Amino acid sequence: MESIIQIEKLTKRFPVGTGEFTALKDINLAFGKGEFTGFVGPSGSGKTTLLNIIGSLDTPTEGEVTVLGHSIAHLTHRQSAKLRNQHLGFIFQTYNLFPVYTVYENVEFALLLQQMPAAERRKAVLDALEWVGLTDKAHSRPAQLSGGEGQRVAIARAMVKRPAIMLADEPTANLDSKNSHHILQTMAQLNKELKTTFLFATHDEKVMAYLRRIISLEDGRVVKDEAMTPQRQPGV
């Protein structure tokens, strides 16, 4: 299968005090279209750092990371912003919704950046809200939502532009079991229907139950990379 993300000899070091801290060391990975994959490992193992580099929010210290044909190390700010806007969707542990906008406006945001025509935009936003089952909350503010609803809005906001890749960093960490399964079901469904590639960073067993590939990190190294038969499937 043709890969849409290639990582070769990736090393990431952060300056710490007078020295350096190596957060990722010699990572070699490739991901194909439609994967439903997770980085797992203890806290501090480098999951977020890896996801951020793939998301072009950070750059490699050494090695090459290519996302949809773009070398992350060589993108200008403007180019990486464009890559994120058009092809990457982010989901955060803390949802990161804009508090002063309504649910509808939060979802609409990325499309406004793309300068999508109003009619098309409206349809896309309403579709996305329907996916996550929040059509009736379109005019609520984030503060009026439950945690599960908040994260579903975040999924709608990331999905509305139909990105090729979704990057979800601990998406269930703030949710109870019922809500966790609800959003995982939603994401598995999107993965199945739209062939969107999902990459998770997680140490949540509930997430792992859905994954088809699990990459284990320890101290910034890949220690295991295995294909799984998911225990849970969309709709089950």
Ligand X SMILES: Nc1ncnc2c1ncn2[C@@H]1O[C@H](COP(=O)(O)OP(=O)(O)O)[C@@H](O)[C@H]1O
Which of these ranges, 28-36, 42-50, 65-73, 87-95, lies near ligand X under the rule CB under 6 A?
42-50
Helical ranges in the chain per DSSP H: 47-54, 77-87, 103-113, 118-131, 147-159, 177-194, 205-208
Kindly state whether residue 14 participates in binding ligand X, applying the rule CB under 6 A. yes
* Residue 11 CB partners (closer than 8 Å, separation 6+): 22, 24, 25, 26, 27, 60, 61, 62, 63
Kindly state whether residue 16 participates in binding ligand X, applying the rule CB under 6 A. yes
Residues 223 and 46: beta-carbon distance below 8 Å: no
Interface map 154-183 toward another protein (x if CB under 8 A):
---x--------------------------
- Closest approach, Cβ 224 to ligand X, in A, equals 15
Kindly state whether residue 35 participates in binding another protein, applying the rule CB under 8 A. no
Kindly state whether residue 94 participates in binding another protein, applying the rule CB under 8 A. yes
Kindly state whether residue 76 participates in binding ligand X, applying the rule CB under 6 A. no
- Total interface residues for another protein by CB under 8 A: 27
Torsion over CA of 163, 183, 23 and 15, rounded to 10 degrees? 80
Strand partners, 227: 213
- Closest approach, Cβ 103 to ligand X, in A, equals 28
CB-count exposure of residue 167 (10 Å: 0-12, 13-18, 19+)? buried
Residue 45 contact, options Mg ion, another protein, ligand X, none, Cβ 5-8 Å cut-off depending on partner type: ligand X
CA distance 132 to 154: 10
Which of these ranges, 36-44, 122-130, 178-186, 188-196, lies near ligand X under the rule CB under 6 A?
36-44
Q: Where does residue 44 fall: left (phi above 0), alpha (psi -120 to 50 degrees), or beta otherwise?
A: left
- Closest approach, Cβ 228 to ligand X, in A, equals 20
Q: Which residues bind ligand X (CB under 6 A)?
A: 14, 16, 21, 23, 41, 43-49, 201
